[in-house]
Amino acid sequence: METPVAADPARTLLDLRRGGRLAAEYPTVRALLAEADTRQTAHAGRVLGGLDPDEVLAAHPDTAALTVAVVGHGTVGPLLGPLTGELARHGLLLRPYQGAFDSWVFELSDPGSALYAASPDLALCLLDPAVVFDEVPLPWRPADVARVLAEKTALVEKVAARFADTVRGTLVLNTLPLPRRHTAQLIDHRSRAELGALWREANARLLRLGVDNASVVVIDLDPLLAEGVPAADPRLDVYAKVHLSEPLLAAYAREIGHLARHVAGLTSKVLVLDLDQTVWGGILGDDGPEGIEAAGGHRGEAFRAFQRVAKQLGSQGVLLAAVSKNDREPVLDVLRDHPDMTLREEDFVRVTADWRPKSESIAALADALNLATGSFVFVDDSTFERGLVRRELPKVAVVAVDDEPAHHVERLLRDGWFDVRRLTGEDRARAELYRGEVARTDFLQGFASVADYLNELGVRVRLRPVTSDELPRISQLTLRTNQFNLTTRRLQPAEVAAYAAAEGSGVLTVRSADRFGDNGLVGAVFLERRDGELRIDNFLLSCRVFSRGIEQGVLSTVLGLAAGAGLHAVTGHYRPTPRNHIVKDLFPRYGFAPVQDESGTPVGEGLAFRHDLSTALHPPGHLQLDADPAGLLEGAHA
């Protein structure tokens, strides 16, 4: 039942291209490359590189396309094939911009350059050892290298600052490998140690750029090199000025694929784990609690290592769930009382143990959490179960493990499903928040009507202008919220800050709580005062708090703000995407009228709406609304 992975995906893609069907069948590429290694993906990417992105978008307008600029000190063209393939693995389409040879300083320093004109979502500045050693004198000593390193890192910091001030995208840097051919030119070990220390200090300085600058991500190449990837190919290094090896470029491209998925708003949120032979060794129903392996012995320690990794992910906001073909009580007994278990019942937002198809259990969990199945990652050792989930829930990412538990950790982590730019306080509290969401869903079952449920739920909403410490969370909402998101405009923290600080505009944050606890910061409204009207540039709300009347409370506040400021209308628009149809009638539902030209054609990008403020909109009666938007549109924000 599980779709077999082609031994050579590139051959299949080449056949499609030769038959003129590659653009038409582009959505199948994601499944075709799902299990491909970096070499296969790079090969497939070279085939896909001849594909016109506009042709794909004409056939599949809902495909997410990202503009990625690539510049560097050496020849960067060999990165485009792996990059194309890695984005395709995640259903994304690459629009590439390739800088000229050794153009990185000019391209990133000049706001009038072609790179900035391309307005990239990601700008990759590929750094390599030659950027330093090409300027080291001969003969040289560690002090000479230290001087050039200092100059280059200072230059990188300068262009990173210019990028942050100029464009909305993300600049991606990388640490510098130190090949042995450089260290071995120093014949005394003391000098080699000094060079190594200097080099690592420079790399640490680069890595801190990714900590301190919200517009910068730094890919650390050391973990990739530690897996045996060669730093350089001597022939390509000398003859073609390709200063990083093709395997290293392919591994780097895989990391960029994970980042690109996050930038496109496709970060996964839920890790669904099978139990038998996945979380623990053995079959609980056959071997009993005393017969399963969760620690001790070689296999037991492998399962313990996997559980530790899952728990670590869960501590950072990844929602853990268990779906098992077992009777419920024995499973709960193991999770509560087995002395060898690392994962416990409280680590999971839900434990499902029954005999239904696992695809049904995952779909039910998605409904309970109010999350799209595209947010789920499913890990199972059964070919049958994985194939069933792939067929019934094709948007779920499926991770294959087998009867060798020592490989479980690597297979779970290899695709960075849950990678984000940076964590927020809401991320770390997410598991508890969603456990409350499951409790709310179960609570609903005891009421005859939704109205009765909402009255008893006790929803409280607090609206305030955004503060500086909330900027990362608001940015994250723009990046990760797909369903209740009127325009799906993705913003980095610096862009949110700039919008909030501009005169006449502001960001209103939405926090909610109820009888089951605090939901945290769950939404935002971007507002701009223009020509006597108040424009809603975007309104987004976490899927955790759908259908509770919060959107009505927020819009009533926005309309009241406009009326109180003496404005004559509130406008906004809805830009349809494949995933935000839930809000397509939001504006009409609350008294906004469609804006049309004389021919009756909708005005503006997407569908434009206008409320003339002739009637008031009141918050729903069950909602306790605490709204204080004072000073929101005056340009003075905390």
pLDDT in tens, 302-328: 999 999 999 999 999 899 999 999 999
What is d(CA 379, CA 420) in angstroms, rounded to the nearest whole number?
Answer: 20
What are all long-range contacts of 520-524, with beta carbons under 8 Å and residues at least 24 apart? 520/425, 520/426, 520/429, 520/433, 521/426, 521/470, 521/473, 521/474, 521/477, 522/550, 523/477, 523/484, 523/550, 523/554, 524/466, 524/474, 524/477, 524/478
What is d(CA 635, CA 638) in angstroms, rounded to the nearest whole number?
Answer: 10
pTM for the whole structure: 0.77
Continuous segment of H or E residues that includes residue 610: strand 607-611
Q: Which of 236, 263, 290 is the last residue of a domain?
A: 263
Residue 538 DSSP class: E
3-state secondary structure of 97: strand
Q: How do 122-126 and 170-174 pair as beta strands?
A: parallel
- Contact in structure between 400 and 411 (CB atoms under 8 Å): yes
Residues 203 and 274 grouped into a single domain: no
422 inside domain: no
The CATH number linked to 38 is: 3.40.50.1110
Residues 36 and 153 grouped into a single domain: yes
Q: What percentage of residues in the chain have a pLDDT greater than 90?
A: 67
At residue 605, the pLDDT reads: 53
Mean pLDDT by 10 residues, the chain (638 residues): 59 91 92 91 92 91 92 94 95 94 93 92 96 95 96 94 86 96 95 96 94 90 94 93 96 96 90 96 90 90 96 94 94 94 94 94 90 93 93 94 95 93 76 71 70 84 91 88 86 87 91 86 92 92 83 93 91 86 90 78 71 92 88 56
End-to-end CA distance of the chain: 56
Residues 341 and 202 grouped into a single domain: no
Q: How do 397-400 and 517-530 pair as beta strands?
A: unpaired
pLDDT in tens, 21-76: 999 999 999 989 988 999 999 999 999 998 899 999 999 998 999 999 999 999 99
What is d(CA 545, CA 37) in angstroms, rounded to the nearest whole number?
Answer: 39
- Contact in structure between 589 and 606 (CB atoms under 8 Å): no
Helices (H), 463-528: 471-480, 493-501
Structure tokens at 395: 């948007």
Residues 276 and 253 grouped into a single domain: no
Nearest CA to 586 out of 619, 618, 617, 552 is that of 552
Residues 63 and 46 grouped into a single domain: yes
* Tally of domains within the chain: 3
What is d(CA 625, CA 461) in angstroms, rounded to the nearest whole number?
Answer: 5
What burial class does residue 297 get, using C-beta atoms within 10 Å of its C-beta: 0-12 exposed, 13-18 middle, 19+ buried?
A: exposed
Residues 359 and 497 grouped into a single domain: no
What burial class does residue 82 get, using C-beta atoms within 10 Å of its C-beta: 0-12 exposed, 13-18 middle, 19+ buried?
A: buried
In which domain, by residue range, is 164 found? 9-263
Residues 489 and 533 grouped into a single domain: yes
Residues 179 and 34 grouped into a single domain: yes
The CATH number linked to 339 is: 3.40.50.1000
What is d(CA 315, CA 187) in angstroms, rounded to the nearest whole number?
Answer: 47
